[in-house]
C-alpha cells in the first residue's frame, strides 16, 4: 500500500510538471517582450518614466535630454505680412535651395554670399532654367536681388515664378516675371499647362539697371492680380484667374548665362 501511494504521488507530479513546461515553450519570445517594446518606444522619450534610463544591451542609447536636437524653423504666423521664407545665402550649411548639378544644363550653389544658377543649356539662346523655392502658397510675393552676366545679351535675363505645380508629376505652368537688363525690358507671362507661353505684359522700364548691375525684382501674386515691382517701382500688373496656388522659383534665361541671387524673401499677401 505504501508503494502504491508513492507511485501515485510520482504520477501526479509528472502530470503537473509536463503541461507547465509545454506552455512556456510555445509562447513566442517576441510577444510582449519588454526588450522589444522598450526598443520601439525609444524615439518617444515621453513614454519613459523620468527616473528610468532605457538600456538596450552594450550599445545603450543616451538619455533623450543628452541627444543633439535639430531646432525646426518656427512656423510663420498666418496672414498678410508673414515672412514665409528668407535666405541671405551666406551660409551653405543652412541651404534652403538645391545645391549641386540639377541636370546637364544647370548647376547651382551658395557662392560668396549669393545663390548661383548657371544656364548651360546649349539648345537655343532664350531657353530658361529654374530652381524651386520651397514654399507652396496661394497669395504671396517673392522678392530677390539678381544680377546676370554671360550668354547672349538679347536673351540674358533673371526671373521669378509663382504658382508652379506642387508635384513634379504635373506639367509646368504658373506665372513668370523675366527682367532683361540690357534692353531695360520686362515681361509677365503665363506658362501654359501644355508648355506654351502667353505674354500678359511686356514693356520697357527705366527702373531696370543695365549690364550686370543688381536689380531687386518682386513678383506679387494676389488673387487674380499678378504684378511686378523692380527696384522699388511698380512697373506693371495684369489680371489672370487661371492659377490660384502653387510653388515659387528662381530663373535664369539665355544659354550660357549665369545668374547670382541674394536676399530672398517670400511674404504672404
pLDDT per position as a tens digit, 8-38: 444 444 444 333 333 222 222 333 322 222 2
* Tens-digit pLDDT profile for residues 174-194: 999 999 999 999 999 999 987
pLDDT band, residue 68 (cuts 50/70/90): very low
* Tens-digit pLDDT profile for residues 79-128: 889 999 999 999 988 888 888 766 655 667 899 999 999 988 766 667 88
Judge contact between 212 and 149, C-beta under 8 A.
yes
Least confident piece of the model among 30-34, 101-105, 166-170, 260-264:
30-34
Of 16, 38, 66, the position where a domain reaches its end is 66
Instruction: Return left, alpha or beta for 142; rule: phi > 0 is left, psi -120 to 50 is alpha, else beta.
Output: beta
Instruction: Please report the pLDDT score of residue 49 as a whole number.
Output: 33
Provide the residue range defining the domain that includes 16.
2-66
Phi, psi of 133 (to 5 degrees): -100, 130
In the chain, the number of structural domains is 2
Shared-domain flag, residues 32 and 89:
no
Shared-domain flag, residues 115 and 56:
no
Shared-domain flag, residues 115 and 232:
yes
* Number of Cα atoms under 13 Å in the Cβ half of residue 256: 10
Residue 77 lies in a domain: no
Shared-domain flag, residues 251 and 150:
yes
Judge contact between 151 and 257, C-beta under 8 A.
yes
Q: What CATH number is attached to the domain comprising 124?
A: 2.60.120.560
Most confident of 66-80, 93-107, 220-234: 220-234
The residues, ordered by sequence, that sit 6+ positions from 167 with a Cβ below 8 Å of its Cβ are none
Instruction: Please report the pLDDT score of residue 28 as a whole number.
Output: 29
The answer to whether residue 136 scores a pLDDT higher than 50 is: yes
Shared-domain flag, residues 134 and 169:
yes
10 Å Cβ neighbour count for 105? 15
pLDDT band, residue 139 (cuts 50/70/90): very high
Amino acid at each position: 500500500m505504501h508503494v502504491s501511494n508513492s507511485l501515485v504521488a510520482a504520477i501526479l507530479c509528472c502530470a503537473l510538471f509536463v503541461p507547465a513546461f509545454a506552455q512556456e515553450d510555445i509562447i513566442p519570445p517576441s510577444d510582449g517582450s519588454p526588450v522589444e517594446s522598450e526598443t520601439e518606444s525609444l524615439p518617444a522619450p515621453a513614454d519613459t518614466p523620468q527616473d528610468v534610463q532605457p538600456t538596450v544591451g552594450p550599445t545603450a542609447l543616451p538619455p533623450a535630454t543628452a541627444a543633439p536636437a535639430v531646432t525646426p524653423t518656427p512656423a510663420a504666423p498666418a496672414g498678410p505680412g508673414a515672412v514665409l521664407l528668407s535666405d541671405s545665402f551666406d551660409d551653405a550649411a543652412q541651404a534652403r535651395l538645391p545645391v549641386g548639378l540639377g541636370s546637364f544644363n544647370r548647376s547651382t550653389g551658395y557662392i560668396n554670399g549669393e545663390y548661383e544658377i548657371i544656364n548651360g543649356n546649349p539648345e537655343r539662346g532664350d531657353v530658361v532654367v529654374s530652381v524651386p523655392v520651397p514654399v507652396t502658397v496661394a497669395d504671396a510675393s517673392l522678392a530677390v536681388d539678381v544680377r546676370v552676366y554671360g550668354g547672349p545679351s538679347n536673351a540674358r535675363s533673371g526671373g521669378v515664378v509663382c504658382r508652379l505645380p506642387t508635384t513634379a508629376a504635373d506639367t509646368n505652368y504658373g506665372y513668370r516675371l523675366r527682367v532683361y537688363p540690357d534692353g531695360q525690358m520686362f515681361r509677365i507671362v503665363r506658362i501654359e499647362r501644355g508648355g506654351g507661353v502667353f505674354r500678359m505684359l511686356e514693356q520697357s522700364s527705366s527702373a531696370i539697371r543695365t549690364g550686370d548691375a543688381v536689380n531687386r525684382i518682386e513678383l506679387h501674386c494676389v488673387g487674380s492680380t499678378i504684378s511686378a515691382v523692380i527696384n522699388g517701382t511698380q512697373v506693371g500688373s495684369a489680371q489672370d484667374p487661371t492659377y490660384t496656388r502653387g510653388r515659387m522659383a528662381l530663373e535664369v534665361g539665355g544659354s550660357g548665362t549665369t545668374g547670382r541671387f541674394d536676399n530672398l524673401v517670400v511674404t504672404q499677401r
